[in-house]
Structure 1
Amino acid sequence: MPFTETPLKDLWLFEPRIFEDDRGYFYESFNQNEFTKATGITSPFIQDNHSFSKKGVLRGLHFQKPPHAQAKLIKVIQGTIWDVVVDLRKDSPTFSQHLGFELSAGNKKQLYVPQGFAHGFIVLSDSAEVLYKCDNFYAPQAESGIIYNDSDLAIDWKIDSSNIIISEKDAVLATFQPSNIPF
Structure 2
Amino acid sequence: MTASVTLITTRRFADDRGWFSETWAEAKYAAMGIDVRFVQDNQSCSTHAGTIRGIHFQTAPHAQAKLVRCVRGAIVDYAVDLRKGSPTYGKTAFATLSAENGRQLFVPVGFGHAFVTLEPGTEVAYKVSDVYAADCDGGVAWDCPEIGIDWPLPVTGPVLSDKDRVLPRLADFDSPFEYDDTPLAATGDLG
Instruction: Using structure 2 for the length normalisation, give the TM-score.
Output: 0.87
Q: State which of 86, 97, 107 in structure 2 corresponds to 1:103.
A: 97
User: Match for 1:143: what amino acid?
Assistant: D
The one of 157, 160, 167 aligned to 1:163: 157
Alignment of 1:1-183 (within 5 A): 10-39=4-33, 41-54=34-47, 55-160=49-154, 162-177=156-171, 180-183=174-177
The equivalent of 2:185 in structure 1 is none
In structure 2, distance between residues paired with 1:147 and 1:93: 21
Task: Judge which range, 88-97 or 165-174, deviates more.
Answer: 88-97
Question: What is the Cα deviation at residue 118 of structure 1?
Answer: 0.4
User: Counterpart of 1:114 in structure 2: which amino acid?
Assistant: P
Superposition deviation, residue 43 in structure 1: 2.1
Distance of 2:99 and 2:173 partners within structure 1: 38
Q: Is the 8 A contact 2:10 2:103 kept in 1?
A: yes
Q: Structure 1, unaligned stretches of length 5 or more? A: none
Using the TM superposition, name which of 61-70 and 155-164 deviates more: 155-164
What TM-score do you get using the length of structure 1 for normalisation?
A: 0.90
Please give the per-residue CA displacement for 1:85-123, whole angstroms capped at 9, x wherever unaligned.
Answer: 101112433222112211000000000000000001111
CA contact (8 A) 2:146 2:171 kept: no
The number of equivalent residue pairs is 175
* Matched-pair identity in %: 40
C-alpha separation between the residues in 2 aligned to 1:58 and 1:37? 32
Structure with higher RCO (Cα < 8 A, 6+ apart): 2
Cα distance, 1:161 vs. partner? Answer: 6.8
2:108 and 2:66 map into 1 onto residues whose CA distance is 7
Deviation of 1:134 after TM superposition, in Å, equals 0.4
In structure 2, stretches of 5+ residues that fail to align are: 178-191
SS of aligned partner of 2:109: coil
Distance (Å, rounded) in 1 between the aligned partners of 2:114 and 2:145 = 16
Moved more, 89-98 or 11-20: 89-98
- The answer to whether the 8 A contact 2:92-2:147 is kept is yes
- Aligned amino acid, residue 156 of structure 1: D
